[in-house]
């Protein structure tokens, strides 16, 4: 992707993550490092103004205002239907554009994400009861993203 294409976007990077898992740790450090390097980065708690619809703002950031999505998978990522819906949107956008997706597997193995084992299996047990119509889309999205070359990082604490 040419640098001129990236510079036409409002954000270079859209960060997708499970807030309660990584907002005050890994994702905060990643966000700070990206901004320090001059990379315009969308993080939901930094960009959305009070009174604006969060879902609409995130959708605009993914579909119209960023060229790269960094998706940080953590132990409880799959417990969030919000995160799973965001992931589906990111991958659909990737198919129809030059959007780049970089998965980061933070304290989870890519196979756990792909095969929905351990905490991901527990989350889907709950989702199957309440969101039956969406479960297969979410499962497919997790399988697809786990096959994209990414980074595997372990929590050092």
Q: Which residues are catalytic?
A: 86
Alpha helix (H) residue ranges in 69-152: 81-96, 110-115, 119-130, 132-146
User: Taking residues 97-101, what's their average pLDDT?
Assistant: 92
Is pLDDT of 37 > 80? yes
Is pLDDT of 11 > 60? yes
List Cα–Cα distances, 90 to 40, 94, 101, 112, in angstroms. 18, 6, 8, 20
48-52, 66-70, 122-126, 147-151: least confidently modelled range: 48-52
Contact 86, 58 (CB under 8 A): yes
Contact 67, 100 (CB under 8 A): yes
User: Taking residues 14-43, what's their average pLDDT?
Assistant: 92
pLDDT value at residue 45: 63
| Interior angle at CA 61, CA 86 and CA 19, nearest 5 | 50
| Tens-place pLDDT, residues 104-119 | 999 999 999 999 999 9
Hey, which CATH number is domain 7-153, 3.30.1380.10, 3.40.630.40, 3.40.50.10140, 3.40.50.970?
3.40.50.10140
Is pLDDT of 139 > 70? yes
Predicted confidence band of residue 124 (pLDDT cuts 50, 70, 90): very high
């Amino acid at each position: 992707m040419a640098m001129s294409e990236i510079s036409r976007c409002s954000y270079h990077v859209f960060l997708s993550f499970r807030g309660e898992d990584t907002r005050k740790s890994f994702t905060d450090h990643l966000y700070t490092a990206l901004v320090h390097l001059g990379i315009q980065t969308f993080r939901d708690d930094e960009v959305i103004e009070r009174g604006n619809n969060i879902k609409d703002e995130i959708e605009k950031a993914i579909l119209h205002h960023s060229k790269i999505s960094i998706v940080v998978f953590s132990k409880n990522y799959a417990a969030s239907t919000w995160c799973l819906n965001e992931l589906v949107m990111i991958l659909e956008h990737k198919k129809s554009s030059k959007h780049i997706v970089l998965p980061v597997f933070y304290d989870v193995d890519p196979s756990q994400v792909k095969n929905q084992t351990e905490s991901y299996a527990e989350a889907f047990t709950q989702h199957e009861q309440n969101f039956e119509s969406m479960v297969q889309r979410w499962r497919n999205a997790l399988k697809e993203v786990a096959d994209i070359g990414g980074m595997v990082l372990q929590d050092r604490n």
